[in-house]
Chain A
Amino acid sequence: MARRAAWLIGAGAAAVVAGLAVAQAPGSAPEPQRAIPNPESGRNYATPETLAIQDDDFQNPAFLWVEEGEQAWNHPTGTAGQSCASCHQDATVSMRGVRARYPAYNAAKGRVVTLEQQVNICRTERMGAPELRVDSRELNAMTSFIGLQSRGMPMNVDISGPARPFFDRGEEFYNTRRGQLDMRCGSCHEDNYGRSLRADLLSQGMSNGFPTYRLKEQRVISLQFRLRGCVNDVRGEPPAMGSEEFTNLEFYLAWRAQGLPVETPSVRR
């Protein structure tokens, strides 16, 4: 019930629901409750061998992407002749904490945008450069480099105010059963984490390590690539990467992992 009430308020039906909700000021959605109040990072479900790769910045292959991102950061591109550094200067200063608070509401766009989308907004609107393809090596390199600057900082996305309807839509996607297997995200990641799914150990599905070097893919992957894999695994029809559905879901997932330290770039099997 609380979830439905939250959704309705988000949809602009505040007046109708305010009377039903207990001690609820009109217009302010109730504080959402997390199904896992004390989340655990995916590293608690990874094997020691995998963690050995992640915890050694030299051995971690994702740092090849980080280095490419760092080069691209300082490399002017596009018709404006500018690089990322032209505006943002030193990424270790200006990008510190950015990964921890994304996805975030973008007032100019009137919607929540992911870090990937923000990079492309900068490219198209400030640099006169073409968009980088979603989940491409170039874009994952850039987000890995930016994400690294927030490593160790707690995830802290802002779901209040105008961002709330997008959060609610993400929550609805998360809780909707889909695919031939008729499973919701929580069917694995809330009800069964810590148990084996064939040869793998189910994690809580926390997003604090993305972009992550996935040993299976042998490359750095974005969160939405993984989400597409999840929907495929329950034999559903995944939305496109970069779509509104996945963006809202990514926003909800970030809130779900609120407080966990950013581990970008992590290594996962």
Chain B
Amino acid sequence: MAAPIGQPRVRLPSQVKAGEVIEIRTLISHIMETGQRRNQEGQIIPRDIIKSFRCSFEGQPVFSMDLHPAISANPYIAFPFKVERAGNLEFTWTNDAGEERKLTQAIRLAA
């Protein structure tokens, strides 16, 4: 029974110019249980982590990473992105059970 993937947060700059490199910042609530710990009865608590994170811009992958058990709970991921045009960024977090949490956020160019 995998823990639910919590509400994700994504922050983009509100004013973006074409050609600008922005920092995309994400945070998601998750326990990131390592699979190394034992409960009070001495049984191993099964591993339950977010194992991958992907970001695509209008269907084109722009960033992806695999996550591992040593990454702490509530993973914070930030990466740079060069903006060329307006469009939608889609973020996907996937846990060990294969469940996905998606979030779409639009990039708008400053007038």
Using CB atoms and an 8 Å cutoff, list the residues of chain A in contact with chain B: 58-59, 61, 63-64, 67-68, 215, 218-219
Q: Is the CB of B7 within 8 A of A67?
A: yes
The closest CB in chain A to the CB of B78 belongs to A59
19 new A-B contacts at CB < 8 Å, known A58-B9, A59-B76, A61-B76: A58-B11, A58-B25, A58-B27, A59-B25, A59-B27, A61-B29, A61-B73, A61-B74, A63-B9, A64-B6, A64-B7, A64-B29, A64-B74, A67-B9, A68-B7, A215-B72, A218-B32, A218-B73, A219-B73
Interface of B is mostly: loop
Q: Which among A59, A61, A67, A218 has the highest number of chain B CB atoms within 10 Å? A: A61
- List 9 tightest A-B contacts by C-beta distance, closest first: A218-B73, A61-B74, A64-B29, A58-B11, A59-B76, A218-B72, A58-B25, A64-B74, A64-B6
> Please, which residue of chain B has its CB at the minimum distance from the CB of A215?
B72
Known: A215-B72, A218-B72. A61 touches B32 (CB 8 A): no
Nearest A-chain residue to B7, judged by Cβ: A67
- Taken together as a complex, chains A and B put the C-alpha atoms of A63 and B8 apart, in Å, by 11
Chain A residues within an 8 Å CB radius of B29:
61, 64
A63 to chain B, nearest CB (A): 8
In the bound complex, do residue A64 and residue B9 qualify as a contact, i.e. CB atoms below 8 Å apart?
yes
**Which residues from B are CB-within-8-Å of A68?**
7
State in angstroms the CA–CA spacing of A219 and B31 once bound together: 9
21 CB < 8 A contacts A-B = A58-B11, A58-B25, A58-B27, A59-B25, A59-B27, A59-B76, A61-B29, A63-B9, A64-B6, A64-B7, A64-B9, A64-B27, A64-B74, A67-B7, A67-B9, A68-B7, A215-B72, A218-B31, A218-B72, A218-B74, A219-B73
Question: What string of 1s and 0s marks CB contacts (under 8 Å) between B1-17 and chain A?
Answer: 00000110101000000
B25 CB contacts on chain A under 8 angstroms: 58-59
Bound state CA distance, A63 and B74, in angstroms? Answer: 11
User: Interface readout for B64-88 with A: 1 if CB under 8 Å, 0 if not?
Assistant: 0000000011101000000000000
In the complex, what distance in Å separates the CA atom of A82 from the CA atom of B76? 35
